[in-house]
Amino acid sequence: MPELTAAAAAHPNIALIKYWGNRDDALRLPANGSLSMNLGGLETRTRVTFDPALEADHLILNDAVAASGELARVSAFLDTVRQLAGIPHRAGVESWNNFPTGAGIASSAAAFAALSLAASAAAGLDLSEKDLSRLARRGSGSACRSVPGGYVEWLPGSSDLDSYAVSIAPPEHWALADCITVVSAGPKPLGSSQGHRLASSSPFQKARVAGAPRRLAQARRAILSRDFDALAQVIELDSNLMHAVMLTGQPALLYFLPGSIAVMQAVLAWRGEGLPVAYTLDAGPNVHVLCPAAEAESVRQRLARLPGVLRVLVALPGGQARWIHPPA
Amino acid sequence: MPELTAAAAAHPNIALIKYWGNRDDALRLPANGSLSMNLGGLETRTRVTFDPALEADHLILNDAVAASGELARVSAFLDTVRQLAGIPHRAGVESWNNFPTGAGIASSAAAFAALSLAASAAAGLDLSEKDLSRLARRGSGSACRSVPGGYVEWLPGSSDLDSYAVSIAPPEHWALADCITVVSAGPKPLGSSQGHRLASSSPFQKARVAGAPRRLAQARRAILSRDFDALAQVIELDSNLMHAVMLTGQPALLYFLPGSIAVMQAVLAWRGEGLPVAYTLDAGPNVHVLCPAAEAESVRQRLARLPGVLRVLVALPGGQARWIHPPA
């Protein structure tokens, strides 16, 4: 019997056109298509070993035994892999992030992208990028966007079969930088999975979703033509639309912190002065400030001086999820 | 010929259900009905003298000659009064606020309520409360709510004739306090009149307006039954809905400052601990924190300690616009 082990790495991603709300929560079929950039330099490495001797799955995150809720989510995901591969064995999963925990970088996208690749390979499956992306989506919606490389679009699809992400441009297409501006290292008030379920409680979600294809097309065009101004306009609008939906659901989700607003106001003022910068916030208080890579160091220094800013990490476009050998 | 002079005083008001966007910008017919509380203790006093000897209107605000834009707006308003009264004379207008300029309290509501009463009386008109409210609306939409006393509802109406405000409960009905938490004394990025014109550029305005009658009914019920918890829920939602519309218009209006969010987050946390407090923000960064009057001093002290808070003014429910004798 072959050794049922494999390891993989994947980057987190920042959504430029947001995913918020599902048509199907169980399958994580999104209410609208979305678009993201992988965050190079930041990555999750994951090793999976299916072992007939194990009585239960176990999960080590950053060298510590994971909480039961995290294990349950991974175990449910492994069930999908086991079913696909037709194997019954429990698995041991070890995973490390090279970016600081509590840096406010959503880790589930990188985690489930790396896990999809490692677990499917360990189970003897040889999945296409499309099927890996579909699989990653089952673990965490935005994880499907961490499977392909560079600038990535999640095609919302209408079923499990056609909801997956594709690269629209490789990392080297456009040297943008994401200056990840950390204003809180604390846990989020609400996990994204629960947040997605609240989306439809806002009277604004329907209009947000209805306009998403148009904004997605604008953002895709801006990326393909490397038009920073056009990208800036549409990603800030799209981020504002998502946070407006969050703010008006029941219960309301107010992810902004004082430092978030300090950064957003500064970005607006700087762009007014001619600096090419734009903000976007995922489901949390930290602000991703996009700019051409050539401006990143200067923007990083400006951001670091703002009140409420704890640290700034700079990421350039990252590649696709990949196997790593030998297993970490 | 009688002396064509009169003086009046009116309070500003805080909207609990918001006015944002007009069906008719010239007549200031609002997209939806709204509900407010007059802010007792704070007031504008205004004296108007129509004088056949004057060649042009003139305007003194807080003992200084007003800027030309302010004079033009008042002069256009006086034209309406002159037309109603059938008099041609230009007028001298003097107006004083007893609340600090730059305290972030919208002054146009109190200003045009006091001006409506003073100017109509000076012109020899004896208008009903309804007609005074209609007239004040022409100067500044929310001014129509500063004409009646206490808790006030603006019936949106369908024409100039039926768009006016009425008192739904006198000031003594319920001793609420508005702890006006000033986080910026600077001018607003955009005046409200221009802001109202942007409302329809948000994809969310239509849904906000559609739900307004229901929220207004909830707020009215909460006030009439003195149900603070119910009022807290609906006024925070309504404030969030308006700021979400502002944030998603084109251009976006981000009125929040870091201090606004510090106060909003604190209010949410305190209410979670059982303190009866709720926030609402007009078209600006300052936060109005409502609470039962018995809690006001303790709430004021808590607010004053938050980062970014410059000062806290406390207002109890105020009465209707009134004549003052002799003219100031």
In sequence order, what DSSP letters do the residues of A209-274 get, joined into one string? HHHHHHHHHHHHHHHHTT-HHHHHHHHHHHHHHHHHHHHTSSS------HHHHHHHHHHHHHHHTT
Interface membership of A240 toward B (CB under 8 Å)? yes
Percent of residues, chain A, with pLDDT higher than 90 = 91
Give the model confidence (pLDDT) of A237-257 as tens digits.
999 999 999 999 999 999 999
Q: What is the pLDDT of residue A186?
A: 74
Give the model confidence (pLDDT) of A215-234 as tens digits.
999 999 999 999 999 999 99
Name the A residues in 171-230 with CB < 8 Å from any B CB.
Answer: 203-204, 206-208, 210-211
Domains B4-172 and B175-315 share a fold: no
Q: What is the pLDDT of residue A156?
A: 97
pTM: 0.95
CATH number of B4-172: 3.30.230.10
Query: Cis before residue A30, ω within 30 degrees of 0?
Result: no
Average pLDDT, chain A: 95
Domain spans of chain A, in order of start: 4-172, 175-315
Say which range, A179-193, B72-86, B242-256, has the weakest mean pLDDT. A179-193
Spatial separation of the C-alpha atoms in residues A241 and A251, rounded to whole Å: 17
Amino acid identity for residue A95 in this structure: S
Cβ contact, residue pair A244, B204, below 8 Å: yes
Q: What is the pLDDT of residue B149?
A: 98
Q: What is the pLDDT of residue A319?
A: 98
How many residue contacts between A and B have a Cβ separation below 8 Å?
84
Spatial separation of the C-alpha atoms in residues B288 and B309, rounded to whole Å: 12
Q: What is the CATH architecture of B175-315?
A: 2-Layer Sandwich (3.30)
Mean pLDDT of B74-87: 97
Cβ contact, residue pair B254, A237, below 8 Å: no
Q: What is the pLDDT of residue A99?
A: 86
Spatial separation of the C-alpha atoms in residues A67 and A187, rounded to whole Å: 14
Categorize the per-residue pLDDT at B3 as very low, low, confident or very high, splitting at 50, 70 and 90: confident
Residue B102 pLDDT greater than 70, yes or no: no
Preferred mutation among B248, B264, B306 to probe A, highest tally of A CBs within 10 A: B248
Q: What is the pLDDT of residue A3?
A: 78
Preferred mutation among A188, A237, A250, A264 to probe B, highest tally of B CBs within 10 A: A237
Q: Which residues of B touch A257 (CB under 8 A)?
A: 261, 265
Q: What is the pLDDT of residue A285?
A: 94
Give the model confidence (pLDDT) of A125-149 as tens digits.
999 999 999 999 999 999 999 999 9
Residue B54 pLDDT greater than 70, yes or no: yes
Of A254, A264, A265, the CB nearest to B264: A254
Looking at this predicted complex, what is its ipTM?
Answer: 0.93
Q: What is the pLDDT of residue B104?
A: 65
Cβ contact, residue pair A240, B259, below 8 Å: no
Average pLDDT, chain B: 95
Mean pLDDT of A185-209: 87
Of A237, A244, A258, the CB nearest to B258: A258
Residue of A nearest to B307 (CA): A258
What is the distance of C-alpha B62 from the center of its chain? Answer: 19
Residue B326 pLDDT greater than 90, yes or no: no
Mean pLDDT of B299-316: 97
More confident residue, A1 or A267: A267
Cβ contact, residue pair B265, A257, below 8 Å: yes
Q: What is the pLDDT of residue A40?
A: 97
Categorize the per-residue pLDDT at A191 as very low, low, confident or very high, splitting at 50, 70 and 90: confident
Q: What is the pLDDT of residue A100?
A: 76
Residue A190 pLDDT greater than 80, yes or no: no
| B191 SS3 class | coil
Interface membership of A258 toward B (CB under 8 Å)? yes
Cβ contact, residue pair A257, B240, below 8 Å: no
**Cα–Cα–Cα angle for A192, A197, A198, nearest 5°?**
95
Categorize the per-residue pLDDT at B189 as very low, low, confident or very high, splitting at 50, 70 and 90: low
Q: What is the pLDDT of residue A76?
A: 97
Segments of chain A assigned E as strands: 5-10, 13-17, 22-24, 29-30, 34-38, 44-51, 58-61, 64-65, 90-97, 151-155, 164-169, 176-182, 278-280, 287-292, 311-315, 322-323
Residue B194 pLDDT greater than 90, yes or no: no
Residue A102 pLDDT greater than 90, yes or no: no
Of B237, B258, B268, the CB nearest to A262: B258
